[in-house]
């Protein structure tokens, strides 16, 4: 677990995730942050307890008369699988939290990054829905071009740190940007910064050059 | 229907896990299967789709009973998470990234005090939801039926979540301590 996390997932987004109604891109950022942050894990589990209460309060509607027999038959037909041991993280000290690994592999060193200018590299990850989720690699001391967003952006720091007009964000911290935030994240000296960022809409760049390239690099 | 004793559901899940106890499963099924189906219908499933998804979810309850931990969550909460994942998978065809799992109970022995605390919290939470003004209660339910976007979800300040969160934080602190001590 990462200590000293000071910037968390907003409670309403955690609630949507616990309810099972958050898009996949944002869910990936939430799952990674919760893996690192016990504060947000407690919030998520409390929200799930509300789900338990909502389930208990459901009316007892009609089910198929033979439903129990049908389920017992499914249970008998299914092979008895050996009980799964606790999922173990192969590389617990790695940069990528466990939920990220099915999307991006085990390590940033094994990935095919794409350059997007100013030394910054990105990798767009596959996910369902109109949202986009990407990994960003910002060299120590470098800046991501000035930009704002069409919708909400969640940026989780996985390695290093960056600062922008709002605050400093270290490992495990999440910055929540919205359409009003025009910012220029600058990676701290000393270590390259790796972030996981999910956006509702595309990014809007202030200067002309990245905008010209935008259709080609799908930022 | 007769009201069953409140602590029965956690015991049922433990009996399923340890003894493959079909009578315990039947009791649990009679209580939860109609509720799971109702929840699934409110999440956009037609009656036949919800029936099928309910049967799949209840099969998962049997198969994963050994992963239920009565010191972490109530049986209703645990079954809710299975039904929730089923609606995502069956109705929305959406993958759900899950947080890294924790070895919640490292001692492998049940913690009866924690189990009682969990059940008391769950009962308090239900009562608190029941006594909310109708409009607030509806907003909470609609969030769970996917009728609100995350920007429309208001956090339920009126609910007694503080005790739930502090219990979980204490358990997590203890767990992290044990994990680093190993």
* Residues A117-162 pLDDT 10s: 889 999 999 999 899 999 999 999 999 877 777 788 999 999 999 9
Residue among A11, A13, A27 whose CB faces B97 most closely: A27
Q: How far is A39 from chain B (nearest CA, A)?
A: 7
A62-99 per-position pLDDT tens digit: 999 999 999 999 999 988 777 665 555 555 668 999 99
Return the pLDDT at A107. Answer: 87
Question: B111: how many CB neighbours lie within 10 A of its CB?
Answer: 16
CB pairs under 8 A between A and B: 214
Q: How far is B13 from chain A (nearest CA, A)?
A: 15
Return the pLDDT at A95. Answer: 93
More confident position, A90 or B88:
B88
Chain B segment 36-95 residues within 8 A of A by beta carbon are: 36-39, 41-43, 51, 54-56, 58-59, 62-63, 66-67, 72-74, 76-81, 83-85, 87-88, 93-95
Starting at the earlier edge strand, list the strands of the sheet with A193-199: A114-115, A121-125, A132-138, A193-199, A153-159, A174-177
More confident position, B172 or A70:
A70
Return the pLDDT at B179. Answer: 82
Distance CA B53, CA A6 (A): 40
| Of residues A194, A203, A201, the one with CA closest to residue A32 | A194
Q: Do A20 and B73 touch (CB under 8 A)?
A: no
Enclosing H/E stretch for B14: helix B8-19
Q: Do A196 and A36 touch, CB atoms closer than 8 A?
A: no
Q: Do A68 and B153 touch (CB under 8 A)?
A: no
| pLDDT reading at A26 higher than 80 | yes
- Spatial CB neighbours of A150, under 8 Å, sequence gap ≥ 6: A179, A199, A200, A201, A202, A203, A204
- pTM, whole model, 2 decimals? 0.91
Nearest chain A Cα to B78, which residue?
A: A52
Instruction: Find the DSSP H helices in chain A.
Output: 11-19, 24-36, 38-56, 67-77, 101-104, 208-217
Return the pLDDT at B153. Answer: 85
Distance CA B60, CA B114 (A): 25
Distance CA B26, CA B16 (A): 10
Helix (H, G, I), strand (E, B) or coil at A67: helix
């Amino acid at each position: 677990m990462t200590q000293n996390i000071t910037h968390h997932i907003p409670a309403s987004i955690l609630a949507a995730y616990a309810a099972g109604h958050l898009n996949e891109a944002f869910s990936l950022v939430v799952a990674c942050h919760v893996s690192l942050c016990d504060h947000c894990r407690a919030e998520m589990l409390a929200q799930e307890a509300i789900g338990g209460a909502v389930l208990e309060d459901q009316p007892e509607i009609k089910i198929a008369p033979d439903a129990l027999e049908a389920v017992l038959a499914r249970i008998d037909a299914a092979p008895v699988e050996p009980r799964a041991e606790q999922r173990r993280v192969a590389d617990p000290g790695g940069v990528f939290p466990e939920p990220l690994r099915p999307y991006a592999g085990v390590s940033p060193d094994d990935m095919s990054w794409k350059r997007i200018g100013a030394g910054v590299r990105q990798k767009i990850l596959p996910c369902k829905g109109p949202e986009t989720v990407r990994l960003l690699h910002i060299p120590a001391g470098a800046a991501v071009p000035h930009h704002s967003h069409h919708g909400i952006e969640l940026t989780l720091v996985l390695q290093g740190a960056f600062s922008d007009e709002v605050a400093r964000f270290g490992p495990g911290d999440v910055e929540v940007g919205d359409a009003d935030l025009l910012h220029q994240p600058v990676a701290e000296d000393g270590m390259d910064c790796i972030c996981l960022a999910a956006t509702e809409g595309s990014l809007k760049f202030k200067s002309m050059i990245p905008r010209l390239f935008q259709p080609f690099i799908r930022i | 229907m007769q009201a069953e004793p409140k602590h029965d559901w956690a015991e049922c899940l433990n009996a399923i896990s340890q003894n493959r106890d079909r009578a315990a499963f039947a009791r649990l099924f009679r209580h939860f299967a109609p509720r799971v189906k109702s929840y699934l219908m409110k999440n956009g499933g037609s009656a036949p789709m919800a029936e099928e998804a309910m049967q799949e979810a209840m099969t998962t309850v049997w198969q994963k009973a050994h992963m239920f931990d009565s010191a972490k969550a109530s049986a209703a909460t645990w079954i809710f998470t299975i039904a929730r994942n089923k609606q995502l998978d069956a109705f929305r065809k959406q993958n759900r990234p899950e947080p890294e799992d924790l070895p919640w109970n490292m001692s492998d022995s049940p913690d009866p005090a924690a189990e009682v605390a969990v059940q008391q919290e769950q009962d308090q939470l239900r009562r608190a939801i029941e006594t909310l003004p109708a409009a607030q209660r509806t907003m909470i339910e609609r969030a769970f039926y996917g009728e609100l976007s995350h920007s429309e979800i208001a956090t339920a300040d009126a609910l007694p979540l503080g005790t739930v969160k502090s219990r979980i934080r204490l358990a997590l602190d203890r767990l992290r301590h044990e994990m680093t001590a190993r």
